[in-house]
Amino acid sequence: MNWTAMAPELSTPAYLACCGVGGGFAAIGLDGDGRPLWHQTQPARAHDIIGHADLGICAVVARKPGTYVAVCDLVTGKTQVTCKAVSGHHFDGHGVFSLDGREIFATQSADRTQDGLIAVYDTRSGALLRTFPSQGTEPHELIWSEPGILAIAHGGIVNRNDPDAIDSSLVLLEAESGEVLRRWVLDDDWETLSIRHLAGLTDGGIVFAMQDQDAATDRRPLVGIATASGALSFLPIPPELQPRLDGYIGSVAADTAGRVVAATAPRGGVAMFWSVDDGRFIGRVDLPDVCGVAPGAKPGTMRLTSGHGRQLLAAVDSRNGISGLELAEMTEAGIQWDNHLARVAPGAGGLG
C-alpha cells in the first residue's frame, strides 16, 4: 500500500490503533469506515493509543516493558513530544488524558519488584509532573470511572513463571491525592486470575477482563463487572466455548449506550457479547486472532480488529443476535493490528 496516498484531505480520525507492518511498528489513524488517514512509524512495539479530540492530540503508549509515550498531533500523527519512563520503571502499555488534555496519567511498574506507579506528564512539554503509588502490583489498564477518580487494573504478576504468586486487584484512586477509595480483590478460588483490562459503563460500573496464569484450568471466569455500589459479579461464558479461550481475554469494551459488553479472545479467535441489563450472554463473532475492540458510532455496535489485518463492525441485538460488516481490510499492506483499538470520542479525556 502507498501510505502517502492515504489521505488526500486532513481530517480527525474516528479510531486509533497500533500495528506491526513491514517488519516494524506503527500507529495509525482511521476514518469511520476503517480506512487509514495517517501512518507513523514507531521506534518499538506500542500497545495502546488514546486520543483527545478537543485538544487535537493523541498518545502512543509503549508495550510493557517500554520506556516511552509519544504525544502526537491527532490529525497527522506526527510526534510532538516524548514522555520518558521514571528511572528504574517501565510503562505498562496504557494511559489516559486528563479531561482537559493537559496531562497524561500512565501506569508504570518498577523493573525488579513490579510495584505500581502512576506517572503524570505534561502533554505540551513531555515533562514528568508528579508520581504516586498505584496501590498494587503490576498495574496495567487505567480508566476514569468518573471525573477525578481513576480505576486501575493490577495484573499482580511479578514472575510469569510463578502462577502461585499473583496479587491482582482493581483499585479506585482519587487522582489528585492518590487516596484509595475502594479496592476489589478476587477470592482464593480465583488466585491465578490476573485483572488486566477495563471499560467504563454509563451507570458508573466497571467491566474488567482477566487472564488465567494457570494453563491447567479452563473453567474460571474471565470477564466481570464491578458495580458503582461495590458488588462484584462474573459474566457467563458458554461451557463449550471456555476451553477455546485458553484463559486469555485480550481487550474489553462497552457500547456507547453502556448496554452491551464485548470481550475479545485472540487465542480462541472469538469476540463475545453480553447484555449489561441482565448479564446474559448474547452471542459471539468468530474472527481469527481478534483482539482490538471499541464501541461503534451507534449504540449496540462494536468495532473489531485482528492480527491478520481484518476489521469488522458487529451489530449486537439482544433479541436477534449479531450481524457483522467487513470494513477496510488491510492484509494487502501486511498490517497486523495490535491488541487495542481506541475510539476518538468528542471531548475525550477517557470518559467518552
- Please report the DSSP string for 300-320 in residue order: TEEEEEETTS-EEEEEEETTT
Q: How many CB atoms lie within 10 A of CB 4?
A: 7
Helix or strand run (H / E) with residue 46 = strand 46-52
CA-to-CA separations, 188 to 22, 125, 193, 202, 312, in angstroms, rounded: 45, 45, 10, 30, 38
User: Quick check: 71 and 84 in contact, CB under 8 A?
Assistant: no
pLDDT value for 124: 97
Give the three cell numbers for residue 58.
493523541
C-alpha span between 133 and 161 (Å, rounded): 25
174 neighbors 149 (Cβ within 8 angstroms)? yes
Mean model confidence pLDDT for the chain? 92
Kindly indicate the confidence band of residue 22, based on its pLDDT and cuts at 50, 70 and 90. confident
**What average pLDDT does range 14-28 have in this prediction?**
95
pLDDT of residue 347: 60
- pLDDT computed for residue 327 by the predictor: 81
Q: Is the pLDDT of residue 1 over 50?
A: no
Please state the rounded mean pLDDT for residues 232-258: 96
pLDDT band at 324 (very low <50, low <70, confident <90, very high): confident
Report the C-alpha gap between 260 and 206 in whole angstroms.
13
**For the CA atoms of the chain, what is the radius of gyration?**
19
Looking at residue 34, what is its pLDDT?
A: 92
pLDDT of residue 304: 96
Q: Tens digits of per-residue pLDDT, 113-163?
A: 999 999 999 999 999 999 999 999 999 999 999 999 999 999 999 987 666
Tell me how far CA of residue 241 lies from CA of 214, 267, 270, in angstroms. 18, 12, 9
329 pLDDT more than 60: yes
- Give the per-residue pLDDT at 191: 87
**Using one digit for the tens of pLDDT, what is the confidence trace for 149-202?**
999 999 999 987 666 668 999 999 999 999 999 999 998 888 899 999 999 999
Strands of 216-297 (E only): list them. Answer: 223-226, 232-234, 251-254, 260-265, 270-275, 281-286, 290-295
Instruction: Render pLDDT for 57-89 as a digit per residue (tens, 0 to 9).
Output: 999 999 999 999 999 999 999 999 999 999 999
DSSP state of 176: T
Minimum mean pLDDT range among 45-54, 156-165, 263-272: 156-165
Q: What is the pLDDT of residue 333?
A: 73
User: Quick one: pLDDT band at residue 348, thresholds 50, 70, 90?
Assistant: low
Residue 256, pLDDT score: 95
Average pLDDT over residues 6-23: 85
| Contacts (Cβ under 8 Å, ≥6 apart) of 227 | 203, 204, 205, 233
pLDDT attached to residue 351: 47
10 Å CB burial of residue 298 (0-12, 13-18, 19+) is exposed
